[in-house]
Amino acid sequence: MNKSQLKSESQEKWKTFLDRIDSEISRLRRKECVTPFFRGHNDSTWKLIPLIYRLYIYESLNETISFGEVYEIENSLKTDFLSRCDQLYNRKLDPWETVFEMRHAGLPTRLLDWTENFATALYFALNDRSQSETTQKPKNKCIWILNPNELNEKSFGESSVLSTSFLNLSYNQSFSDIEDDEQIEGPIAILPHRSHQRIVAQQSVYTYHFDETPIEKFYRPCVKKIIIPNECWEQAELFLSLAGVNDFSLFPDLDGLGAYLRKKYRIYTNEDEFWKYE
Confidence of residue 131 (pLDDT cuts 50, 70, 90): low
- Whole-model pTM: value is 0.88
Residue 209 contacts residue 259 (beta carbons within 8 Å): no
Examine residue 180 and state whether it is found in any structural domain, yes or no: no
**Axis crossing angle, helix 95-104 with helix 67-84, rounded to the nearest 10:** 80
Examine residue 274 and state whether it is found in any structural domain, yes or no: no
pLDDT over 90 (residue 110): yes
* Phi and psi, residue 105, nearest 5°: -90, 5
Examine residue 30 and state whether it is found in any structural domain, yes or no: yes
Given this model, what pLDDT does residue 176 score? Answer: 55
Examine residue 179 and state whether it is found in any structural domain, yes or no: no
| Host domain of residue 15 | 3-167+185-245
Residue 118 contacts residue 179 (beta carbons within 8 Å): no
Examine residue 222 and state whether it is found in any structural domain, yes or no: yes
Query: How far is Cα 70 from Cα 53, in angstroms, rounded to an integer?
Result: 8
pLDDT over 70 (residue 98): yes
Strand stretches in 119-203, DSSP E: 141-146, 162-163, 188-191
For the chain, the domain total comes to: 1
Examine residue 268 and state whether it is found in any structural domain, yes or no: no
